[in-house]
Amino acid sequence: MDLAETTRTATHALEGPILAVLVHAEPDVPLTCAEITRRMRPGRATEVGVMQALRRLAEQGIVTSRLSGRSWLWTANHSHLAWPYIVGLVGLRAELVDRIGETIDSWDIRPQNAILFGSSVRPGEGNADSDIDLLLVWSDADDNVHSERQTDELRADIVAWSGNRSHVLSYSASEWETIVDANEPIADEGEERLDGEWVPTTLTL
């Protein structure tokens, strides 16, 4: 699954990223074709191509348009039967994060912290070839008793949910502290992740 552009799960056409822009736009606030193009991934499309795709969406009733001066204004039709499914498709990345968090929170012994890292969670960088990397930090008391079966099952679940390869790394709290103190590369990744995407588990570092 392309985590930067989850609509590619169903379509490689321009309609996908256009719909993603409209899903995240303020409801009932029309956008020009130029504005929609600017909000897409840089280099993803030309304004001419976006206009053609918008017209195709309008034919299906998923967007509406009106002329204002010399510009066409485009608005998502939230009443369309397909709209809830479009929202779901655009939100697959958030759904993946939620499922990982819910799975971890269901364990009898939970890690102190669970962090998604790497290109798959950096906005605009992930693609269908990106691994989904998860780092778990356990208390020193729980490090030797947590279930490897659970982490192996979670890794398999992530592959099934997304189609992407997955790696789950486990460290004890003292091991992680040593890694941070040594300024190892994965610790630098950790610093970048402080403003990134955190799995909603029980504690944070």
75-87: per-residue pLDDT in tens?
Answer: 999 999 999 999 9
Contacts of residue 175, defined as CB under 8 A and 6 or more positions apart, other chains included, come to 143
Question: Is 25 domain-assigned?
Answer: yes
- Pick from 92, 116, 205: which is nearest to 168 by CA? 116
CA 123 to chain CA mean position, Å: 8
Does residue 1 lie in a domain region? no
Q: Is 166 helix (H, G, I), strand (E, B) or coil?
A: strand
Decide if 200 is inside a domain.
no
Residues 107, 179: one domain? yes
**Same structural domain for residues 86 and 161?**
no
Work out how many domains the chain is built from and give that number.
Answer: 2
Tracing tokens 């070839």 back to the chain, one arrives at 129
Q: Which residue has the higher pLDDT, 119 or 158?
A: 158
CATH at 101: 3.30.70.1350
Is residue 82 located within the same domain as residue 110? no
| Cβ contact 200:103 at 8 Å | no
More reliable by pLDDT, 71 or 199: 71
**Are 86 and 97 within one domain?**
no
The pLDDT of residue 32 is 96
Per-residue pLDDT of 69-114, as tens digits, reads: 999 999 999 999 999 999 999 998 889 888 998 999 898 888 888 8
Q: Are residues 114 and 180 in the same domain?
A: yes
* Cα–chain center distance at 67: 34
Q: For residue 27, what are its two tokens?
A: 């409801």
Residue 174 has pLDDT above 70, yes or no: yes
| Residue-number span of the structural domain to which 189 is assigned | 92-193
Q: Tell me the H-state helices in 41-172.
A: 47-59, 83-90, 92-105, 148-162
Mean residue pLDDT of the chain comes to 82
Residue with the larger pLDDT of the pair 26 and 189: 26
**Residue 46 lies inside a defined structural domain of this protein:** yes
125-139 pLDDT, tens digit per residue, is: 667 778 888 988 888
Q: Is the pLDDT of residue 203 over 70?
A: no
d(CA 188, CA 195): 13
- The single-letter DSSP state of residue 190 is H
The one-character DSSP state at 26 is: P
What is the helix (H) or strand (E) element at residue 114, kind and residue range? strand 113-117
Question: What are the two backbone dihedrals, phi and then psi, of residue 171, each rounded to the nearest 5 degrees?
Answer: -135, 150
What's the CA gap between 43 and 180, in Å, rounded? Answer: 37
Nearest to 111 by CA among 149, 137, 145: 137
| Whether residue 84 is found in the same domain as residue 106 | no
Could you tell me if residue 42 is inside a domain? yes
